[in-house]
Amino acid sequence: MKKLEHIFVALNGWALILMLTAMTVIVGANISLRYLTGHSLPWADEAARYLMIWMTFSGAGLVLRTGGHVAITNLQDALPQMGQKILRGLLVLGLLIFFGFMVWVGMQYAQRMQYQVTPALRLPFLYIYAAMPVGFGLMILHLLLIAHPFITAGAYKHLEDEEAGEASLPGGANG
């Protein structure tokens, strides 16, 4: 199970790296063309915007698993140990319900937009708005993977833990 989790996290991370790389290349090429030739790519800004949307929704789950989202812990810190566990369990349950609702809303919205196309790329908006249900679906998976340690100990997966897990796999990251 840990190996599947590691593969899932690595694939999520690589998808973000590829989207960021594509966005950087597109924007860089557009700037270079604008200054060298006086002409720019008419679709570059739109492509960069849509890649940014996909990166935001796709990366939110990775941030969630390391505790990178904003949190106010005053109430949790004021409670006894058992109260903290109950509160964290309720938080996880509430987040799962909210994320599931957002997947449903995102799917409905994406389906409604499937016949409209983007101005420059002429892509159906379905592909752009699909970032919402996909991103919240990824957040559900990430939350389920960290729920037990978060509820019981209030601990998140830290990047050092991920790297230590990678080093302990047979053959390193490729194993």
**pLDDT tens figures, 64-77:** 998 888 888 888 88
Q: In terms of Cα–Cα distance, which of 95, 98, 127 is closest to 110?
A: 127
The whole domain housing 12 covers 2-164
In angstroms, rounded to a whole number, what is the distance separating the alpha carbons of residues 55 and 61? 11
Query: In whole angstroms, how large is the CA radius of gyration of the chain?
Result: 20
Report if residue 174 sits inside a domain.
no
Q: Rounded to two decimals, what is the model's pTM? A: 0.85
Whether 140 has a pLDDT exceeding 90, the answer reads: yes
Q: Is the pLDDT of residue 167 over 90?
A: no
For tokens 């270079």, name the residue.
32
Mean pLDDT for 22-27 is: 98
Please report whether residue 9 resides in a domain: yes
More confident residue, 170 or 75: 75
Give CA–CA dist 8/114, Å, rounded.
28
Q: What's the average model confidence in pLDDT over 150-175?
A: 58
With bands split at pLDDT 50, 70 and 90, how would you rate the model's confidence at 156? confident
User: Could you tell me the CA-to-CA distances from 101 to 9, 18, 40, 111 in Å, in that order?
Assistant: 23, 28, 41, 15
Say how many C-beta atoms besides its own lie within 10 A of residue 116's C-beta: 12
In a domain, 170, yes or no: no
Question: Taking all residues of the chain, what is their mean pLDDT, rounded to a whole number?
Answer: 90
Q: Does 169 reside within a domain?
A: no
- Assigned token pair, 107: 């799917």
Establish if 172 belongs to a structural domain: no
For the chain, the domain total comes to: 1
Closest of 99, 107, 108 to residue 139, by C-alpha: 99
Do 73 and 114 meet the contact criterion of CB atoms below 8 Å apart? no
Residue 17 lies in a domain: yes
What single-letter amino acid sits at 54? W
